[in-house]
Structure formats: C-alpha cells, structure tokens
Amino acid sequence: MPLRPVRRRRTTAGAVRAALLALAVATVTVLSAAPPAAAADTWTEVGSDRADPLTESQGLASVEVPAGSANRYTGIGTIPFSVSTRGWNHVGDPDASYDGYYVEPYQSDSNNAKMYRVQAPGGAWSEYVHALGSGEALNNSWAAITPNSQWMLSGEWGTMTRFLVFPTPGANRATSPSANLPQVSTVLLDHAVRDVQGCDFTGPTTLLCASDDPAGTLFGITKPLLQIDLSAEPNGASDVTGHVTALRRLPLRSSCSGTFEAEGIDYDRRSGTLRVIVVSPGFCVLTDSKTYRLTRS
C-alpha cells in the first residue's frame, strides 16, 4: 500500500516536468517566430538656444542642399507681405527634402484650402494649393517629407488618429503649381494624438513629433515627444499604419510660470541632432523661448 502513493507522486512529478518542458519549447518557438517590437529611442537634452518670437517661433528645418546652407526658421515675421495679403496668415513647421526642396506650410481662415510655398534647389519659389477635402481641418501646422523626397505628411489640429499624405510639391514630378495638390493616402495611427505642431522623419519609417497637448490624458504627460513607427514607407498608393509611442515630456523651462507652447521640430541626420522649439509663457515669450537640442542616447 505505501508504494501506491509513492508511484502516484512520481507519476505526477514526471508529468509536471514533461509539461514544463513542453511549455518551454512552445514558448521558445513562439518567441522566435514573433516579429521584434520597434524599439523606442531615448532622447537627452544637450543644450538650447534662444528662439526669437517673431522669426523662430513656429518651425525650423535643416537644409542640406546647397551644401553649407543655414538652418531655416519660420514665424509670423517670416511671412512675406505678398503672401499674407492674400489671406495666408499662418505659417507652420517647414521641412526640406534631402535633394534640396524646401517647403513651408500655410493656412488661411478664408481660402478653404492649404498652401505650400516651395523653394526649389535653384532658388525659385512657387506655390501649391490643396483644396480641403470633406471633413478636413483647415489648419496646416507642419510638413514632413519622406527620405526619398517623393511624399509629404501633414497633420490636423485637435485630437486625431490620422496624418495626411501628399505628393511632395516640387520634388514629386506629378505635382504642378497650376493644379490642385491632392491627398493621396493616409497614415492610420493606432493611438490618438493631440495638437501635433511638427514632425520630421528620422528614417524611412520613423517619425518624431512634437505635441502641444495641454491635457496629458492621452499619454500621462503634457507636451510629449512622440515616436511614430510606420508599417511601411508611404508610397502614395495605399494607406499605412503608425504605432505611436510617447518618449518623454519636452523640456519646459522659463523664468515665467504658465502655459508653454510646443512648436516645430527638426532632425538633422548629419549630426544626429533633434531640435524642437518651445515658446515660453507670458512676457517670457520675448525673453527665454528656446530651441532645445537633443541627441539619441
């Protein structure tokens, strides 16, 4: 009789060992078959520069062509008089393609359209107008050009789950200043974003974005730096999805207390430097608004 419980315990122990072994094998198999998750970058502040409230308060872009070009900035003071008198009264965060097309996004309260002012590598300026689609917001806060120069992303103000995709005006041969600039596809985000003020590509399928979100209810922090990992490179023919990750809160420092405003963002691939404009609250908008510099760590 004593042998029967012993056998029963041995049989149970063997079954447990076998089950654990099977589970371990299955786990290894599943893990080896699963695609690796996109790793979120860590960005650390390395310095800052004062941002002029009139000419450096909306956006910025590093320009590679011609070689040795200075960084470009936008603000209310950079809007040409001939542009503002036609109703284009706000300029957003610009971008420049790697082959030398510089694009500034404009919006209007009355034109029922968005406008992109483009400087070609040779220096000539032209304007491309996009008529608003059904349900499309009129604001035109930013432009982000894909590394292959052919496609341009733009976003809408408020709480959104999409970015719009256009052929890059000027750089894409299918575009013309005399024709409407069409929306050709959409980036479908897997998490809502709020009040995005600028985005820039750090690679073919990765964007960094500055959000002016004042509430902090979407990610648990206000004014977040966001990383968007796309399922594929935008191609203008089909939609892609975007996985959203909040990396950190943007730097917020000022002699004044109150509400900061996160603005444009730029990634310079030559130095690996990320720059983002944050406008200070109150009177300090004039004195200590900053362009922060961050690097990947």
pLDDT along the chain (297 residues), means of 10: 36 39 37 42 95 98 96 98 97 98 96 97 97 95 98 96 98 98 98 98 98 97 98 96 98 97 98 98 97 96
- Using CA atoms, how far apart are residues 30 and 248, in angstroms rounded to an integer? 31
Rounded Cα distance, 190 and 218, in Å? 12
Q: Quick one: pLDDT at residue 297?
A: 87
Q: What is the pLDDT of residue 40?
A: 72
Distance CA(205)–CA(230), nearest Å, equals 5
What is the structure's pLDDT at 39? 59
pLDDT recorded at residue 162: 98
Strands 290-296 and 273-279: antiparallel
pLDDT of residue 67: 94
pLDDT at 30: 34
**What's the pTM?**
0.86
Backbone φ and ψ for 270, nearest 5 degrees, come out as -70, -35
Measured CA to CA, the distance from residue 295 to residue 297 in angstroms comes to: 6
